Amino acid sequence: MVFNESFYKNLLFLVIFFSSTILFAQDNTISLADEYYSNNEMEKAIELYEKLARKDENIEKIHKNYFDALLKSGEQKSLEKYLKRILKLYPDNAEYNVDYGTFLISSGDNNKAVEHFDSYLNRIKKENDLLRYAAVYFINAEQFEFAEKAYILGQKNDKNDFTGELADLYFVWGKKELMVAQYMDLLSLDENQVDYVQGMLQDRITDEDDFEKLENVLVSYVQKNPDKTVYNEILIWYFLQKNEFYKAFIQARAIDKRQKLEGFKILEIGRLALNNDSYKDAIRIFQFLVDKYNDKPVYSISRRLLINSKEELVKNTYPVDLNEIKSLVKDYEDIIRELGIRKNTADAVRSLALLEAFYLNNKDSAIQILEHLIRTTGMNPSLISQAKLDLGDIYLLKNEPWEASLLYSQVEKAEKDKNLGHIAKLKNAKLSFYKGEFELAKAHLDVLKLATSREIANDAMDLSLLIQDNLDLDTSSLAMTKFAEIELLVFQSQFEKALVEYDLMLKNFENHSLTDEIWWEKAEILIKLGRFDEAIENLELILKHNKNDILADDANFTIGKIYEENLKNQDLAMEYYRKQLTDYPGSIYNVEARKRFRKLRGDNLN
């Protein structure tokens, strides 16, 4: 019989059509079975999966749900039969082998499950791809020990492999120290992974106790690998996370020496210490640079920052010692005399002027110093703007608000939409506030709420809320006007006069909404004057009468600090830090309060 070409085409079409129809019907059956499974109709799902499982090509599509359905339904015999069958078909498949062991465990045969897992891993121990898949399924089944065995077997094949996977496993397993060890091993293989490792440690070690334990692990790697600076880098990162700047400096010093960085690595740590108010650490770091690198470019920067650090320490140690201020003035005069007035000494010139004006009451001398700086050629425009802001502050100190406003406005115009411009606008807003021009002040502040600098935006928000919450424009602004006048006295460091005026306000405006603000401001002044017991009395009034007020957690934490740092009463300090954690759970001070509490209690934080 002879068939023409048309016949064969039709026959091929029919074969393709019926095959497609069968496959379509089969896919529909899988979808229906999956739907039964999703709806927890296990009997119907199992019935369909059982039929589908007779064809080998369906196993991969149905296995996960079919296995789970049989396991949940307690169909032990059917499940064992099914698993043994597919293991004959696919003896090295990771998913099916792990599932078989899981089945054995569910049947109460743990020993047999262990034997099976070990046997399977031994069989594939030279195949890293299979070991990787096996580990993933072991993790999903929470068989972490066998996942670990799989990765370790893989490392025997290639010591550079599986380090990251092991770190991930230990994280899921909750073994943080082993996780850290893997990340350290990763750095030994590739030092360029330091940023990745730092990021993973930051994301994954969130518990304070775990983070404290990290130090010993990192130190051990530094000691065991003295030639690898990457471990010093990671330890520096760790100490900086804890604001332990002197310890970070020790590590930076080792890197600086080894890599001949001439002090610039150390300079970074010193700047961070200064910017984070760790003045004593900053002084030690900059002093080292001044002594060690007196013939290097880092010297002049370090010398200026050393004096700046000493200044901040003196200004924040209450009561302020005027003899120390005079010593600082001499230091600034020496550095200016030695190096001249130029770009890299401009900050020293500004600091000298502000010390003369605000602490030694030499306002006219301070004005002359700043005007000389402003006239000096070659200065950056931003330096000139900063000097003008300082000059405006000194004119305000002299009770010449018009001159101050003029200078602030010049900077606001010159530095429009820049940070210095925003600072100038904030100063103008405060000036309007001091003068009792509250609506004008609020207009300035509303603009500054959108400033890119969070600090400026927050300051603007705080002052705006103070005005809004305490000023009743429908009746009288007398109390708010008086409060603003006293705030100007505080700015001008007329502390004793301000205290008298605050007490008069408390008497004349009894139970006014500004009362807690007055107690807070009085406490701040008393701290600066070194009258710590009186400061605590005012802070306690906030806690007694306004326990839920926005200033309450600030007041409580401040009392704890006074007892710890100034009155040296550890027991009472701990009491207030404990109260901080229990009574103000959402406070921004809680991390610091917990740290201080544990330190006073004598916990071993290393």
Give 263-315 as a DSSP string: THHHHHHHHHHHHTT-HHHHHHHHHHHHHH-TTSTHHHHHHHHHHHHHHHHHH
Task: Give residues with Cβ within 8 angstroms of 593, minimum separation 6.
Answer: 557, 560, 577, 580, 581, 587
Answer whether residue 359 shows pLDDT above 70. Answer: yes
The amino acid at 369? I
Give the rounded percent of residues in the chain with a pLDDT score beyond 90: 65
Radius of gyration of the chain (CA): 36
Measured distance CA(401)–CA(422) in Å, rounded: 19
Q: How confident is the model at residue 90 (pLDDT cuts 50, 70, 90)?
A: very high
Give the predicted TM-score (pTM) of the model: 0.77
Burial of 112 (0-12, 13-18, 19+ CB in 10 A): middle
Estimate the share of the chain in helix, then strand, then coil, as percent rounded to the nearest 5: 80, 0, 20
What is the number of other CB atoms lying within 10 angstroms of the CB of residue 298?
23
Q: Given this model, what pLDDT does residue 330 score?
A: 95
Q: Give 120-126's long-range contacts (Cβ < 8 A, gap of 24+).
A: 121/146, 121/149, 121/150, 121/153, 123/92, 124/92, 125/153, 125/156, 125/157, 126/157
What is the number of other CB atoms lying within 10 angstroms of the CB of residue 86?
22
Task: Give residues with Cβ within 8 angstroms of 76, minimum separation 6.
Answer: 103, 106, 107
Backbone angles phi, psi at 180, to 5 degrees: -60, -40
Cβ pair 570, 561 in contact under 8 A = no
Measured distance CA(279)–CA(243) in Å, rounded: 12
Cβ pair 407, 502 in contact under 8 A = no
Give the rounded percent of residues in the chain with a pLDDT score beyond 70: 94
Q: Which of 557, 548, 500, 488 is nearest to 526 (CA)?
A: 500
Residue 419 is encoded by which pair of tokens? 């940070």
Q: Given this model, what pLDDT does residue 227 score?
A: 87
Answer whether residue 485 shows pLDDT above 90. Answer: yes
Query: What average pLDDT does range 552-577 have in this prediction?
Result: 95
Query: What average pLDDT does range 546-575 have in this prediction?
Result: 93
How far, in Å, are 412, 421, 422, 446, 451 from residue 418 at the CA level?
9, 5, 6, 17, 9
Where are the alpha helices (H) located in 359-514, listed in sequence order?
363-375, 381-397, 401-414, 419-434, 438-448, 454-470, 478-491, 495-508
Q: Given this model, what pLDDT does residue 3 score?
A: 47
Query: What average pLDDT does range 225-248 have in this prediction?
Result: 93
Q: Which of 493, 485, 483, 492 is nearest to 319 (CA)?
A: 493
pLDDT digits (tens, 9 = 90+) for 268-305: 999 999 999 999 999 999 999 999 998 889 998 899 89
3-class state of residue 416 by DSSP: coil
Q: How confident is the model at residue 604 (pLDDT cuts 50, 70, 90)?
A: low
Q: Given this model, what pLDDT does residue 473 score?
A: 44
Q: Given this model, what pLDDT does residue 403 score?
A: 96
How far, in Å, are 69, 110, 122, 340 from residue 105 at the CA level?
16, 5, 20, 81
Where are the alpha helices (H) located in 39-127, listed in sequence order?
42-52, 59-73, 76-89, 94-106, 110-123
Helices vs. strands in the chain: H and E counts, helices first: 32, 0
Q: Given this model, what pLDDT does residue 455 score?
A: 86
Q: Given this model, what pLDDT does residue 331 score?
A: 93
Lowest mean pLDDT, pick from 227-236, 404-413, 594-603: 594-603
The amino acid at 463? L
Measured distance CA(373)–CA(343) in Å, rounded: 10
Q: Which of 545, 539, 544, 571 is nearest to 557 (CA)?
A: 539
Q: Which of 448, 444, 446 is nearest to 456 (CA)?
A: 448
Measured distance CA(106)–CA(412) in Å, rounded: 74
Domains of the chain: 482-601 (1.25.40.10)
